A and B are shown apart, each in its own frame.
Chain A
Amino acid sequence: MHMADALLSPMVGGTMWAVTAGLTAYSARKLKESPDESRVPLMGVLGAFIFASQMINFSIPATGSSGHLGGGMILAVLLGPYAAFLVLASVLVVQALFFADGGLLALGCNIFNMAFFPCFLAYPFIYRKIAGQKPSQSKIFLAAVLAAVVGLQLGAFSVVVETRVSGISELPFGTFLLLMQPIHLAIGIVEGIVTAAVVLFVWKARPELFAPASGGVAALAGGVPMKKVLAGLALASVLTGGILSWFASSYPDGLEWSMAKTSGSEGLETPEDGLHGALSALQGKLAFLPDYGFRKPGGDEAPPEQPGEAVSWPAVDPGTTLSGLVGGGMTLLLAGLAGLVIKRGSSKRA
């Protein structure tokens, strides 16, 4: 369910980054208020446990396929929402950096989709409500399955919305939703059953781990004042959405679109003089395909636009493609050559 940078616009990525940063700061503050902040090593080892547990591939009955545990709900049950959120966030950071799962811009989305929903919605409002203060085997089973299913469904829905709003993928909203929700329903049920089995295993073997009063790991757990969380989320979304919309990458080019909205013209007014002017003049002189199209034989005067004629995008223009191919290919070649020169220089110095 990891989102990738390549399918994300900076506006969506940035907004989700801000939301996630707010949630992280809030969770860190709540954790600081807990009796023993130096319990962090325990959280660190449990984060590593998530990775290790994902190595244990199990067969899914009646399907012939296999799966592994996500682990978010187990952490929420053991550590409580704040610590679990931070542990999951750290797991996702390490996945993004070392395993290239997702990406750095998509990190905000991924933390929100895979940590916020299980920790701050599914755990307090489903798991805790059903399991209650005196959990039984059947209550824990039902609570874990339902919480895992709801957490994953919300996460999958969020992936669809974020991808759609970014506008890079052409997948229609309905089709993407139909692809994502049922598959994550199946994954959620399996995840829920395994989560329930693991929680029951630990509950039977070491019941004290679930008793906050005993000083077990669950001492970090606490209630979630949802009003504060939701108010913070809304504020962060509005603020960053407003600021970062400048970077909006959309049809046909987000930056130019937002410039058109703010300045009334599709690009920045190019200064006639200075470096920009000189570069433009150079580009004008050199470009045999100015603005990605073939240069008109008659000179620079563009034919007057026909009123009412719709401008289609992407425009059918062989010049655009040829110019792009030539320029892009040569730039890549130059980048490669630069790499060779740098490598030679740096190995000489070493």
Chain B
Amino acid sequence: MNPSTGRQSGIDPRALWIVTFAFILTVTSFGKYEISRLTPLFLYPVAMTAFYGLPLKELGKRILLVLPFILLVGLFNPVFDRRAVLEAGGFSLSGGWVSFISIVLRSLLAVSSAILLVLVSPFDRLCLGLEKMRVPRVLVTQLQFLHRYLLLLKGEAQRMIRAHHLRCPVNRPKIPMEVASSMIGSLLLRAVDRATRIHWAMLVRGFDGEIRLQRPLSFSWARDGSFAAAWGLFFLLSRFVDLPGILSGWVLAR
């Protein structure tokens, strides 16, 4: 499930979670007509992607997948908010378009930060980080199991679909509802059987409800603390100081 071809981060996952949440809170705390002041925040995904050599194509593909819904809801803003914010030479820009652009920027930032998290750190380590941050263990273990069996069961579903299409090419790609119900029911029974077998196999190997990692986490203040503090400071600076304003003033004054 981790399609990363880049380097994995040695940063403690707790620091990664904290930085990601701080980033998303900073992005969403700006007013809805804010555009330029969101731009310094692009440094975070750009720097992380560049530093860890992450596959841009993978990142872009995942962002593109979610954009349609956001565009759909965001496009209502220009419809309902028509107050002009800029009129020059017959061209008029409405507040709705400004807030629409802001929504697109926010979603680019928020979505990329969440994807970055799983690209730079193995999922098991992220889960262990969650457990250290007092997320209930049962949910953490559940997440780890889900992640492990996802591809396995997807493969099973794909084989069922292929078998259906080979027997019944007329219905490709859509399957009639009553047939789909039986297929989902069969898949469910297979999943339950598989789960029971796994459960027994794990019990005889001494499973007590916790998945342990060979390399336990250790939070280093020098490495992880400074990583979180540096990004935190940058987010605060971006939130409370108009960096693009300073920059544009400096350039246009010359």
Contact = CB atoms under 8 A, between A and B. Distances in A.
A118 interface: no
A169 B74 contact: yes
Q: Which residue of A51, A249, A255, A327 has the most chain B CB atoms within 10 A of its CB atom?
A: A327
Interface in B43-83: 43, 46-47, 49-53, 62-63, 65-66, 69-70, 73-74, 76-77, 79-81, 83
Nearest to A13: B28
B192 A289 contact: no
Interface residues of B, number: 134
Given A58-B177, A87-B142, A5 B46 contact: no
B85 A320 contact: yes
Interface in B98-138: 98-99, 103-104, 106-107, 110-111, 113-115, 117-118, 123, 126, 135-138
B85 A315 contact: yes
Interface stretch (A42-50, A230-238, A301-309): A42-50
A260 interface: no
B191 A49 contact: yes
A283 B242 contact: yes
A181 interface: no
A168 B110 CA distance: 15
Contacts of B88: 318
A194 B69 contact: no
A7 B150 contact: no
Contacts of A6: 28, 70, 74, 103-104, 106-107, 110
B187 A52 contact: yes
Please classify the interface of chain B as helix (H, G, I), strand (E, B), loop, or mixed, using the class held by over half of its residues: helix
A24 interface: yes
A39 interface: yes
Given A324-B244, A328-B35, A38 B202 contact: yes
Interface string A309-335: 000111111101101111111111011
Nearest to A201: B185
B10 to A, nearest CB: 13
Contacts of B113: 104
Contact of A287 (B98, B154, B187, B249): B249
Contacts of A94: 143, 146-147, 150
B177 A194 contact: yes
A55 B161 contact: yes
A105 B16 CA distance: 15
A133 interface: no
A39 B85 contact: no
A332 B42 contact: yes
B229 interface: no
A83 B49 CA distance: 37
B31 interface: yes
B247 A247 contact: no
Given A44-B144, A331-B39, A342 B51 contact: yes
28 contacts: A2-B69, A6-B74, A7-B73, A40-B138, A42-B192, A45-B153, A46-B195, A52-B153, A52-B157, A58-B174, A60-B177, A93-B143, A97-B118, A98-B1, A167-B32, A193-B177, A194-B181, A205-B185, A283-B242, A286-B253, A316-B87, A325-B36, A326-B248, A327-B242, A328-B38, A331-B39, A334-B43, A346-B53
Interface of B: 1, 7, 20-21, 24-25, 27-40, 42-43, 46-47, 49-53, 62-63, 65-66, 69-70, 73-74, 76-77, 79-81, 83-88, 93, 95-96, 98-99, 103-104, 106-107, 110-111, 113-115, 117-118, 123, 126, 135-139, 141-150, 152-154, 156-158, 160-161, 171, 173-189, 191-192, 194-196, 198-199, 202-203, 207-209, 239-253
Given A55-B161, A78-B188, A197-B177, 15 more contacts: A10-B25, A40-B141, A44-B195, A52-B154, A97-B114, A100-B114, A104-B20, A167-B32, A194-B181, A197-B178, A330-B244, A330-B251, A334-B43, A342-B47, A343-B50
Interface of A: 2, 4-10, 13-14, 24-25, 28-29, 31-32, 37-49, 51-53, 55-61, 66, 69, 74, 78, 86-87, 89-91, 93-94, 96-101, 103-105, 163, 167-172, 190, 193-194, 197-198, 201-202, 205-206, 209, 217, 247, 249-256, 268, 279, 282-283, 286-290, 292, 312-318, 320-321, 323-332, 334-336, 338-343, 346-347, 350
Minimum-distance CB pairs A-B, first 6? A44-B145, A327-B244, A201-B185, A328-B36, A197-B181, A253-B31
